Amino acid sequence: MSAALKSPDACPALVLNADFRPLSYFPLSLWSWQDTLKAVFLDRVDVVAQYDTKVHSAKFEMRLPSVVSLRNYVSHSRAPAFTRFNVFLRDSFTCQYCGSNARDHLTFDHVIPRSQGGRTTWENIVAACSGCNIKKGGRTPREAKMFPDRAPKRPSMFELNERGRAFPPHYLHESWQDFLYWDCELEP
Ligand SMILES: [Zn+2]
C-alpha cells in the first residue's frame, strides 16, 4: 500500500438520498467504511464514487466507496428528533436573545422557566449564549424584558436541512465529538 493512501478509518462515505442530494447537510451524512460496505452488500445503496484505498479479504478486494446513494428515497416529511443539536441547528447556532454566534458559549434556555411551569419542548427551548442565559435567569421574557428573536416552534426536516446547508462540511469534522455528545434525545 502506498503511503499516500488513507487508512480505511479515514474514509467515510458521503451518503446521498435517492435524489442524489445529501441525506443531511449538517451534520453532513457520513457513514463509516464498515457501514457503507454492509449497505453495498445488502444492495441498499449504489456506489457513486470511490477512494483509492482498498480493503481485502480472502475472497475479494475493493476500493472503498467515497459517495453512495440510497436505492430507496428517504422522505424528509417525518418530524425531526427533538435534540439539543437540532434545537441549535433550528436557531442557526445563534443566541436568540443577543444574536451572538459564539458556539463555545451556546447553551439552551427555557423561554418560560421550568420553575414557572415551562416545559422542555420545541416551543419553549431556544439557543442562548451563556451570558444571556445567566442574565435572564429564572424569569419569563416579560419579566426579564428579553424576547427570543424568533418564536420557537418545531421545524420541519426540510427547514433543518436548509439551515444545515449554510455550514461547510469541514465544520462537522472539527466538532464530530461535540455532535456525538449533543445528539441525544432531550428529556420530555
Ligand atoms: Zn446572548
pLDDT (0 to 100) of residue 35:
95
* Burial class of residue 57 (count of CB atoms within 10 Å of its CB; 0-12, 13-18, 19+): exposed
Q: CA 26, CA 35: separation in Å to the nearest integer?
A: 19
How close is the Cα of 148 to the center of ligand 1, in Å?
A: 10
User: Which of 15-19, 91-95, 142-146 has the least mean pLDDT?
Assistant: 15-19
| Average confidence (pLDDT) over 120-124 | 95
In contact, 149 and 99? CB cutoff 8 Å: yes
- Tens of pLDDT, residue by residue over 138-184, are 999 999 999 999 999 999 888 888 887 776 554 443 333 333 334 44
CATH architecture of 84-182: Orthogonal Bundle (1.10)
Whole-number Å distance, alpha carbon 110 to ligand 1 midpoint, is: 14
CA of 168 to the centre of ligand 1 (A): 24
Between residues 185 and 69, which one has the greater pLDDT?
69
Residue 186's pLDDT is 56
The reported pLDDT for the residue numbered 60 is 83
Average pLDDT, the chain: 82
Mean pLDDT of 99-120: 89
Q: Which three cell numbers stand for residue 143?
A: 419579566
Q: Quick one: which of 171, 113, 123, 177 has its CA closest to 151?
A: 123
Q: How far is the centre of ligand 1, averaged over its atoms, from the C-alpha of 178 (Å)?
A: 20
pLDDT in tens, 28-51: 789 999 999 999 999 999 988 888
What separation in Å is there between the alpha carbon of 54 and the centre of ligand 1? Answer: 48
Give me the pLDDT at residue 185, please: 52
Domain ranges (residues) in the chain: 8-70, 84-182
Residues in contact with 60: Cβ distance below 8 Å, sequence separation at least 6, in sequence order: none
pLDDT value at residue 182: 41
Neighbours of ion ligand 1 (CB under 5 A): 95, 97-98, 100, 129, 132
Q: Which amino acid is at 14?
A: L
Among 63, 46, 65, residue whose Cα is nearest residue 54: 63
Q: How far apart are CA 85 and CA 106, in angstroms?
A: 11
Percentage of the chain beyond pLDDT 90 is 43
Entry pTM: 0.64
CB 66 within 8 A of CB 51: yes
- Residues 64 and 34: their CA atoms lie apart, in Å, by 9
Q: What is the pLDDT of residue 184?
A: 46
Tell me the CA–centroid distance for residue 92 and ligand 1, in Å.
Answer: 13
pLDDT of residue 3: 45
Q: What is the DSSP letter of 69?
A: E
Contact 25, 164 (CB under 8 A): yes
